[in-house]
Structures are given as C-alpha cells and as structure tokens.
C-alpha cells in the first residue's frame, strides 16, 4: 500500500489537534481559570521533565508491542490527559493532567515512524517525511482556530471535551487501520530480508 494513502493522515491529524493544545488551548484555559503566566511556565516545565523521565522508562515497554498498539494507547492517553484538565482547578491539577497527556505524546512520537514511515518503499521515505511535516503545520493552524472557537463557544468545558473526543477518535482510527498498517510492515520486512539475502547468496 503506498505511503500516500490518506487514511493514515486522518488519525495523525486528529491526534496532533489534541497534542498541539499544549501551545494554544492550555495557556488560554489556564488564563481563564485565573492562573498566572508563571503557572503555565511551571506546567511546561512539568511536561519537559516528564519527557525526560518517561523516555528511558517507557522504551523497554514500548518495544514489546506493535506500533499501532502503542499509538492507539498513546492517543487515548493524550485525549484523556487533555480531558482531565476539565477537573483542574489549580497549578497542581494542571500539572497532574499534563503528566498523563505527556505520556501519550511520548508513546506516539516514539513509534509513529515505525508504524507508517518505515514500511514505505525507500524511494518514498522522503514523501512520508514531507507528509508528516505538512501535518505538523496544518495541525498547528487548525489547533489554534479550534482553541479560539472552543473558548468563545463554551470555554474550558468545550475545549477539553473536544480534545477528549478527538483523542478517542484517533485511537479508534488506529484500531481500524491496524490490519493495513501491520500488513505493510510485514510486507516491508519480507522485502528487506529478501534484499539482504541476495548478497549473502552470491
């Protein structure tokens, strides 16, 4: 299946819309909750610290599961963590919820390439990288407008409810696409082993 199959772009975009709210929706929500810019800075610090802690701890565990399984769980954690901000009333509450969605983000970012990028034929790996870059840029624009719309429409409740729903939708899409993704990975693995066997046979 070619890497240009747009089905794989949809869960990626849905997840990125949620994850990018750390830059757009989160500061707006904390400001509306009456928290200071310093509180947002502390939450960003928690995010960075969690990334440093999660990477060595999650690496051995993540390697035991398929990329689609990891990305499905990561999308759920990202949506659940953002949704948990509905219960946040102070800096500690926002920091605790941040720990949840940071875990999800770390998992997705660690295995997304193994799920969709690595199975691409080698001449098209640059195409995949370009698609990922486009998704990052498009999601940033869309996430900004989503945050503004949500805050104008219903405030924090609408914003975090939409994020939770998008995270669940991205996870559901990963489950639905799992046969196609795993099939591409298996096919790519067979081709690589065949190519490695040719020099050995000669």
Strands (E), the chain: none
Angle ∠(14,20,24) on CA atoms, nearest 5: 130
* Rounded Cα gap, residues 84 and 13, in angstroms: 21
Q: Supply the pLDDT for residue 100.
A: 97
Closest Cα to residue 104, out of 5, 8, 21? 21
Q: What is the per-residue pLDDT across 57-69, written as a single tens digit (0 to 9) for each?
A: 888 888 888 888 9
pLDDT attached to residue 121: 56
pLDDT of residue 124: 59
Which residue segments constitute the domains of the chain, with CATH numbers given?
A: 6-201 (1.20.1250.20)
What pLDDT is attached to residue 130?
A: 72
How many DSSP H helices and E strands does the chain contain? 7, 0
C-alpha closest to that of 20 among 181, 129, 148: 148
Record the tokens describing residue 166, joined without a space: 């998008």
Residues of the chain with pLDDT under 50: 1-4, 117, 119, 188-202
* pTM (2 d.p.): 0.82
Q: What pLDDT score was predicted for residue 68?
A: 86
């Amino acid at each position: 299946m070619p890497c240009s199959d747009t089905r794989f772009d949809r869960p990626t975009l849905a997840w990125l819309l949620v994850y990018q709210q750390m830059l757009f929706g989160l500061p707006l929500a904390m400001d509306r909750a009456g928290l200071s810019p310093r509180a947002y800075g502390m939450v960003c610090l928690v995010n960075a610290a969690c990334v440093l802690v999660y990477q060595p701890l999650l690496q051995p565990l993540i390697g035991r599961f398929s990329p689609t399984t990891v990305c499905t769980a990561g999308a759920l954690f990202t949506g659940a963590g953002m949704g948990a901000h509905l219960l946040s009333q102070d800096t500690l509450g926002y920091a605790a919820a941040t720990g949840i969605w940071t875990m999800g983000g770390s998992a997705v970012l660690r295995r997304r390439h193994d799920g969709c990028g690595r199975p691409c034929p080698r001449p098209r790996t640059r195409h995949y990288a370009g698609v990922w870059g486009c998704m990052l840029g498009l999601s940033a624009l869309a996430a900004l407008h989503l945050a503004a719309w949500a805050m104008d429409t219903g405030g924090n409740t609408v914003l975090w409810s939409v994020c939770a729903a998008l995270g669940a939708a991205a996870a559901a899409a990963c489950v639905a696409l799992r046969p196609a993704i795993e099939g591409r990975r298996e096919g790519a693995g067979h081709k690589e082993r065949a190519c490695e066997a040719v020099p050995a046979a000669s």
